[in-house]
Structure 1
């Protein structure tokens, strides 16, 4: 939902503010694809706020930048927001307003004004926001997992922030860094964390009967997993526009689709339409499996079948969209990109299965780990998602003005997954009871899908869609250098393969001056 841009001047004068305004306006054009439904900007004291809108909630009244009117502590505050706040109705009831719209973004204003920056912990959803209040000045914040992107830079006594790397002017790019997930920033307080995903993901919003202790009975874990995921899928179906689902035919997306069908029928009666979308090469495993699941669930199913030539043709657009050159990310992004292009012709919102593998040990390479190592690996996996799967999911969908939502990565799901003993997530030898990856998740939804769907083996999206094979076959066609291993690109680490060098060249031509650390953080040279 949208793109944001911010320019805050630490030495504001009329002349400097005019330069800041011009800089800010130039930052909106590169992120216009994130918000095809409108664009706005506002100078608020020393801070310029810009916004490109993808209208999903309160289509008529949700224009941004948005100002709070009096009376009350929020009077005169402004916000630009990218994302969705799923508990905004509850927060409205608690805060009292006055509210001028039904937009979830307006609630962010009142949370900060009434509860201070610590109140950001109470938001449930995915977001990157900038709020300007009389008390705090500028407040920047990003959701705990980094589902929504945010970057920032300090240049010429100004702070610049934006949703994508491409928004930053060339002279600023060497200073651009990623704004860390689960943090907020104010001029007075600096950068501060506001949530601890390892120890206390729910914080002040935990249920009254929540004790956080590990489950003892496997059946209790099943119940909690099932009920919580259903709740989070239901919350993410919130929209005033069409909502669909990305369906690969694997466990995670199939469960999300199955829940959506039940929820749609519960809300609208039998025959309620849920639109599903799949992509792949002819005869690829994901395409075949998704078709079977869609037929079983009765979704209105749409497919994007592509050729080898189309994969190679679209690669430059994909690398530019995801703003990364990491090969596994690019491979999975190609089918997602083509899938998003298809879905955007029918809906404005899609739900995906991202995150289940990190919660329930879905990757085959985790099979060799003991309990302690697996526990660490799962936490590490969650902490880097914003550089990998979440970055891919956000960029390829928003490239077409499509919002992707991730119910598995709700903080409530994280809290439930933390209570599942690590021993129950271990991947044993084939043939043993509970040996298959994510067995506890599969067991929790027994009866929701036929066994052949519920227990289908996992494949990486790029592999299951057939894209990885295309990349391998065509690598030499887009990087013909015989001495590719000796080629260096300024600011980027040495390419680990011919394929990666090709992506680096596209990236460097699109974003000259951007450092590797802004793309992959502390994993830039790993």
Structure 2
């Protein structure tokens, strides 16, 4: 699902054609609105629910909201007068009437939105950028859209809309959320209690009470998520995917059995992966190696979930917040703190982008409890030695926070076993080795590389060549890069 918003730049016919190019079909009438200088359109894939534009009682204000506002009901109850309908978009429009440009400060959730206010417009994105949004000047006006594909032949000065920011046509771009560094000292016991309470609350908010899928990939954080979710909601089901005999698939099934939750594991073949790789890369709009590899497993798990549920919940952001990546462990504390902040701020271009693209591509609504604003705010203030222990144990505070709830074989699993998509990574690397030579890669690798962007492995070269079939070379600057 996604949105396209034109302000003094495109006609209804042009936006209709653009949505048709993206999805293969025209937007239905309820997902398209023309009002003065603005055209708003929502769309979805694979039978998902498209965002619906909403107009105010006076015909000078309208809004389209892509995503989830978890506190929408509470906001609605506080508004006087109440909005004409109870949709989250109408609620945000009503809140804008009361709070004006500060409206984003009050929204708890994962979202990108565009709002018309007379001859002005307002756009905003959630604090970590869970829902993608790009913008550019087009035909003397502005075009905002969820996908890079919308700008392939139209953009001038294309930019990604930064997370934690709003844009008002009167004042330009303003930031409303910043990650903070470590604050005044707090004991480790107090820290893990804060983590336990905030993670538990975040999972409750994101899971709700309906039928929900959980991606259970064998990691510590996905195991914690699944256990908490099942405590809250017995309608929860878990899903995983991997090659036959994969370690993460085995662990996921073992964790699901311990929790007692209904679990579906999808075994995929190398042929399955290669047959869908182009679709996955084009949907992701990235060629970053770790992002694509993780997305392959997600693709097959979420495809299975789409037969059962409408909401899919993942554990993304935990590795960034709690220092889960192997390359972080040797860093001294000051450098580690800076790197954790950097990769968390970059999530909107890496793993949050991956989760959004894969889940919405199957017509489901993505949720990510570890992106909860209160949780992110609190964990960003913890010292880095609470995240990686003195003996090098990753996600230390998270593990200790749930050590009395889960058995030791889950929370104390060695870091070497806390893995995801290893079999898929090996299969893709072996295939790329059969396609490319070392000389092919050397043109993109290292400080003396002849070509850009810099690529690190042959499978990343494979993804880049697939990506280039759909996107111009200059768009590579908007692609986020992870560390290995």
Using the size of structure 1 for normalisation, the TM-score is: 0.84
**Shift of residue 114 of structure 1?**
1.2
Moved more, 140-149 or 412-421: 412-421
Q: Which residue, 349, 359, 362 being the options, matches 1:397?
A: 359
* Residue of structure 2 equivalent to 1:89: 73
1:261 has 2:230 as partner: yes
Residues 113-134 of structure 1 deviation map (CA, whole Å, 9 limit, x = unaligned): 2101112111111111011123
1:461 shift after superposition: 8.8
Query: Within 5 Å, which residues of 2 pair with 1:93-172?
Result: 93-134=77-118, 137-168=120-151, 170-172=152-154
* Residue equivalent to 1:203: none
TM-score between both structures, scaled by the size of structure 2: 0.91
Q: 1:426 to 1:295 in 2, by over 3 A?
A: closer
The aligned counterpart of 2:2 is 3
Deviation larger for 116-125 or 93-102: 93-102
Pick from 211, 217, 233 the counterpart of residue 242 of structure 1: 211
CA distance in 1, matches of 2:350, 2:26: 23
Q: Of residues 56, 69, 74 in structure 1, which corresponds to 2:57?
A: 69
Q: Is the 8 A contact 1:491 1:515 kept in 2?
A: no
Match of 1:476 in 2: 433
Q: Secondary structure at the match of 2:223?
A: helix
Which one of 271, 274, 283 corresponds to residue 309 of structure 1?
271
Q: Give ranges in structure 1 of 5+ residues lacking alignment.
A: 11-18, 200-211, 265-271, 430-434
Alignment of structure 1 residues 372-387 onto 2, 5 Å: 372-387=334-349
Alignment of 1:23 onto 2:14:
yes
Q: Displacement of 1:34 after TM fit?
A: 12
Deviations 1:69-100 (A, max 9, x none): 26xxxx75211111101111221122234223
Indicate conservation of the 8 Å contact 1:34/1:399, yes or no: no
| Residues 483-507 of structure 1 deviation map (CA, whole Å, 9 limit, x = unaligned) | 4544899995254433222212211
Q: Distance in 1 between the 2:43 and 2:381 partners?
A: 40
2:458 paired residue number: 498
Q: Counterparts of 1:254 and 1:231 in 2: how far apart (Å)?
A: 16
1:287-366 residue pairs with structure 2 within 5 A? 287-366=249-328
Q: Deviations over 1:443-493 (max 9, x none)?
A: 111222111011123469985451111011110344479645448999952
Q: Distance in 1 between matches of 2:305 and 2:28?
A: 17
Q: CA deviation at 1:273?
A: 2.8
* Contact 2:213–2:313, Cα closer than 8 Å, also in 1: yes
Q: Which digits, 9 at most, give the CA deviation of each residue in 1:195-228, with x for residues without a partner?
A: 22227xxxxxxxxxxxx95463322222211111
Deviation at 1:283, TM superposition (A): 1.1
For residue 404 of structure 1, give the secondary structure of its aligned residue in structure 2: strand
Aligned-partner Cα distance in 1 for 2:70–2:157: 33
Report whether the alignment pairs 1:181 with 2:163.
Answer: yes
**Counterparts in 2 of 1:309 and 1:525: CA distance versus 1, 3 Å:** closer
CA contact (8 A) 1:245 1:351 kept: yes
Identify the residue that residue 413 of structure 1 maps to in structure 2.
375
Please give the alpha-carbon distance, in whole angstroms, between the structure 1 residues aligned to 2:131 and 2:270.
31
Which residue matches 1:450?
407
RMSD: 3.1
- Counterparts of 1:123 and 1:54, CA distance in 2: 26
- Structure-2 change in CA distance of 1:335 and 1:182 (3 Å): same
User: Tell me, what secondary structure is at the counterpart of 1:191?
Assistant: strand
1:152-182: CA deviation from partner (whole Å, max 9, x where unpaired) = 11122021111111123x4224642211111
The aligned residue for residue 221 of structure 2 is 252
**Structure 2: which 5+ residue stretches go unaligned?**
none
**Which of 30, 39, 47 is the aligned partner of 1:48?**
39
Residues 63 and 464 of structure 1: CA distance in aligned 2, closer, same or farther (over 3 Å): closer
Cα distance change of structure 1 residues 462 and 41 upon mapping to structure 2, 3 Å threshold: farther
1:217 to 181, 187, 203: 187
SS of the residue 1:276 aligns to: strand
User: Which residue number in structure 2 is paired with residue 78 of structure 1?
Assistant: 62
